A and B are shown apart, each in its own frame.
Chain A
Amino acid sequence: MAQVSSISNEQSPTAKSIILKISRFNPEHDESSGFMEFNIKYEKWTTVLEAILDVKKHFDHSVAVRYSCRQATCGSCGMIINGKPKLACFTKISELDSNVVTVEPMNNFPVIRDLAVKFEQLFDTHQKIKPYLIRDDTELVSDEKEFLQSPEEVEQYIQFANCIKCGLCNSACPTMATDSSFVGPQALAQAYRYVADSRDKGKDSRLKIIDDSHGIWRCHFAGSCSQVCPKGVDPAMGIQLLRGYMLGFRS
Chain B
Amino acid sequence: MPKDDHREGIGGMINPRRYGIERVAYLLMRISGLGLLAYFIGHIYETSNILRGKVGWNEFMAMISTTEGHIIMSIVIAMCVFHTVNGVRVMLGHGGVGVGTPARPDYPYDPASQNYRHKIGIYSAMVLAAIAMMYGIAVMFGE
Set of chain B residues within 8 Å of A155, measured between Cβ atoms: 102-104
Q: Is A162 an interface residue (CB 8 A)?
A: yes
Q: Is A125 an interface residue (CB 8 A)?
A: no
Q: Is B70 an interface residue (CB 8 A)?
A: no
Contact with B along A158-195 (1 / 0, CB 8 A): 11101000000000101111101000000000000000
Complex: A174 Cα to B13 Cα, angstroms: 5
Set of chain A residues within 8 Å of B29, measured between Cβ atoms: 220
Evaluate contact between B105 and A232: CB separation under 8 angstroms.
yes
Q: Main secondary structure on chain A at its contact with chain B?
A: loop
Q: Is A221 an interface residue (CB 8 A)?
A: yes
Q: Which of B29, B93, B111 has the most CB of A within 10 A?
A: B111
Q: Is A210 an interface residue (CB 8 A)?
A: no
Q: How large is the interface on B (under 10, 10 to 19, 20 to 34, 35 or more residues)?
A: 35 or more
Evaluate contact between A174 and B93: CB separation under 8 angstroms.
no
Set of chain A residues within 8 Å of B109, measured between Cβ atoms: 229-232
Q: Is A49 an interface residue (CB 8 A)?
A: no
Evaluate contact between B23 and A159: CB separation under 8 angstroms.
no
Q: Which 4 A-B pairs have the closest CB atoms?
A: A232-B105, A232-B109, A226-B111, A244-B96
Seed contacts A159-B102, A178-B7, A234-B111; 14 additional CB < 8 Å A-B pairs: A107-B8, A108-B7, A111-B6, A156-B102, A174-B12, A174-B23, A220-B29, A223-B118, A226-B114, A232-B105, A234-B105, A236-B113, A238-B102, A244-B95
8 A-B pairs (CB sep. < 8 Å): A108-B8, A117-B6, A162-B105, A177-B12, A180-B2, A180-B7, A222-B19, A241-B102
